[in-house]
Amino acid sequence: METVSENACFGGVQGVYKHASDACNCDMTFGLFLPEEAKDGPVPVLWYLSGLTCTHENAMTKAGAQGWAAEQGIALVFPDTSPRGEGVADDDAFDMGQGAGFYVNATQDPWAKHFRMWDYVGEELPALVAKEFAVDASRQGITGHSMGGHGALTLAMGLPGRYRSVSAFAPICHPTASDWGRKQLGGYLGDDEAVWAAHDATLLMRESGFDGPILTDTGTKDQFYKLLNTHDFAHAVGERGQQANLRLQPGYDHSYFFVSTFMEDHVSFHAEALYAG
């Protein structure tokens, strides 16, 4: 593992690191904020998954999360959104290829060689972070924005017992029924829609739900609101009787101005779950 940079931040350290990924068959870069408490022993960890076109850097520099995480003594991990580099497949469209991994393990060419983001975020990177840094793997939460909100919800429900809490900012909630989803799931996973179900938060909620609290925020002025299918997820939550707080925020759009406004709420929400018991 290579240290790209480390900066003092709210009494802790904001680092950027690069490593060779077996899952993605290329070098991957991630950001990690460690609060001051990590000097004395392992701290809880919150994963932040970013959206389309983003890298590890977007949320790390725009979400304003480190200050709130420092107050709570929580580490933050900012993975990249896809494999990258020479020889990694890409697409001219912003919503496929590099920057648009959709947090799935691709089975279709040309994506299958590198695009294994489910294994990377769900298995390989957590093992590396737990080995190299002072984080407590028994106390994990996960959040994300847009495509990353989709990833957070599906990983939380798809890996039972892994995360104590899950939240999302403007998540893509029902990708099998959306233009933001059908294209990507078909491209990465093939035409069998039964395979897509494991990556659809609404379908997973109907099937199994999440053993813990859920928080989501979506702006009423979100320019992509019709692609998110927030109402379908809310209906599934209601049918299951899932513990969840699904909020619509008047006047907010899809930007990091929206994300940063409600970041304190999300970090506090996760801290309550991560420090319980």
User: So which residues are the catalytic ones?
Assistant: 146, 222, 254
Nearest Cα to 78, choosing from 98, 94, 58? 58
Count of CB atoms within 10 A of residue 184's CB?
A: 28
Cα torsion 230, 232, 237, 238: sign: positive
Closest CA to 260 of 46, 70, 64, 72: 64
